[in-house]
Amino acid sequence: MSTETKENVGTEEHADHHEMGFWGKYVFSRDHKAIGMQFMMTALFMLFIGGGLALTLRMRLAAGESGEFMGMDMKQFGGETYNVLFSMHATVMIFFVIIPFLVGAFGNFVVPLHIGARDMAFPFLNGLSYWIMPLAGIVMFGGVLLEGVDAGLKSGAFASGGWTSYPPLSQIAGYGQTLWCVSLIIVGTSSIMGAVNYVTTIIKMRAPGMTFGRMSLTVWSVFVTAILVLFGTPVLTSVLIMLILDRHAGTTFFTNDGQPLLYQHLFWFYSHPAVYIMILPAMGMASDVISVFARKPIFGYKAMAAAMAGIAGLGFIVWGHHMFQSGMNPYLGTYFMIATMFIALPSAVKSFNWLGTLWRGNIHFTTPMLNALGFVSMFIIGGLSGIFMAATTVDLMIHDTYFIVAHIHYVLFGGSLFGVFAGITYWFPKMFGRMFSETLGKIHFILTFVAFNCTFFPMHVVGAAGLPRRYAAYIGDGASTTWAHLQPYQEFMTYSAIVLGLAQVLFLIAVIYSAIWGEKAGRNPWKANTLEWTLDSPPPHGNFHPDIPTVYRGPYEYNSDLVEEDYLPQDRNLETADAGSAGEVEGSSGEGTA
């Protein structure tokens, strides 16, 4: 395909950059940047809903035998209500926070800017992919609208089968389980719309000279993630439709003399790759941030991109390690164990390459860098705990304990959300035209990092002691006294979780304060090389005017011998007389610049 053709693919709708009104610019926008920020704000809102559910869970656990915690009666949150709380908490955080943040928000905002495109390939489809997400949230919490919270909890208006919703439990649950299925079908549809856009945009709309070998690792991560979504999400959609038919049409896929294990196989065939959907974009963003603030080229660029592809491929052949307790044939279990061990290899490649990038670098401990380092360290801990679960015999002992809860939170909070915080603070100048407050950002990081580890690391200890998960109380109310000696851990983890929640309130305050009163940002406050930093902050509608840039090199040319500066932008042509004018910093500001 010629350069002219590539530039024009998918750009017909952007040829006329007329003045847009408020609704067209900020609400029903087709601009990828506005849509990305809509995803970000929605995910941030849902983060506090999911976090509120989590704090309620933890306070119920800390209440113990008395049922009181900090003067509040927590007994009402036991029994079936507790099942609703942990089911809705996990569902919200996975499908309405992490995936919209990493795929919807950053995928939309960053990808066209990084590859030199004016917008996504299909702008209308892109806007639609966002606007069906609030619809999914309304359906998920439909019980609140129909009956209110108290009546809804008593009538089964909310899902209560965990985020996995295994049958036959999900067959006998109230109508809220059907709302849960319909909501996730809508979420999956949104994800597929976005994935089609990402794959098409990255393949067909790259700027001249932007080969696959010159794409940033953020773009690579979104590209691989989009392929995972396209292959995996239709399986989840199918299994949810079958579950609805079992519940309401009398079919026998999983229940009514059907095969409950079939549900588990189909669910995890999607949901294990979904773990990488929730972590791969964070890996790409952390790679970019670490390279920028270590002022070094990324160590092993090709190996990093190949590791992402390897993780994606292996992710589809290891789903059975979630089912070691299901009575699996020992030979089949051995296969899944070995395959799971292998998937640790590309993750190890990425971890060592991050360390290699940091080694002897000129490191700037900015807020984005601190969060990226937090991501790496927490992801390594989560990955190491995952190796225990890969061993069949060990997993049989720890599968239903708090050790699993610790593992998933180290990967998906310590990993994914620290990656989100790194991405928000790194691209904040480009999003809002102002610098993120370094003081508030660093306080937020320290509080979050310490409180997170105080909340979730003790779960390894109580899990190794055998404490089972998904119980509302372990002492009193007829519960066994076997776990009474571990109650102080529950109280300590709960107080830590409260601090963790308050730290996120500080982050919200920092976002609002910085967006309104933060120091104005120039085009390139970080002195980075990727194409978005050649644009105004924030970039105009259509991004690149009047011409699409030409790319001459990769995104990680730091400390190059070709120029006096310690960075060399991708679009800077060293062969022209005015080399050095492109990519110059205009009004550079903010802490942490080199």
pLDDT digits (tens, 9 = 90+) for 225-274: 999 999 999 999 999 999 999 999 999 999 888 899 999 999 999 999 99
Q: Can you give the pLDDT at residue 19?
A: 60
The pLDDT value given to residue 10: 44
pTM: 0.92
Asked if the model's pLDDT at residue 587 lies above 90, the reply is no
CATH code at 220? 1.20.210.10
Tell me, what DSSP letter sits at residue 558?
B
Query: What is the pLDDT averaged over residues 147-160?
Result: 86
Res 26 pLDDT > 80: no
For the CA atoms of 564, 567, 571, 572, what is the dihedral angle to 10 degrees? 0
DSSP state of 477: T
The count of domains in the chain is 1
Expressed as residue numbers, the domain containing 357 is 2-593
Q: Which amino acid, one-letter code, is at 393?
A: T
The C-alpha atoms of residue 458 and residue 436 are separated, in whole angstroms, by 33
Beta bridge partners of 73: 68
Spatial contact of 89 and 54, defined as CB atoms under 8 Å apart: yes
- The Cα 60–Cα 44 span in angstroms is 25
Q: Does 189 have pLDDT greater than 80?
A: yes
- Whether cis (ω within 30° of 0) applies to the bond prior to 538 is yes
Closest CA to 189 of 253, 142, 241: 241
Placement of tokens 């983060």 in the chain: 47
Q: Please confirm whether the linkage preceding 208 is cis (ω < 30° from 0).
A: no
pLDDT band at 575 (very low <50, low <70, confident <90, very high): confident
pLDDT value at residue 199: 98
CA-only gyration radius of the chain, Å = 24
Residue 299 has pLDDT above 70, yes or no: yes
**pLDDT, tens only, 336-366:** 999 999 999 999 999 999 999 999 999 999 9
Euclidean distance between CA atoms 449 and 440, whole angstroms: 14
Question: What is the reported pLDDT for 576?
Answer: 74
Token output for 430: 């480009």
Average pLDDT of span 93-100: 96
Peptide bond connecting 167 to the previous residue in cis, omega within 30 degrees of 0: no
Does residue 478 surpass a pLDDT of 70?
A: no
Residues in the chain: 594
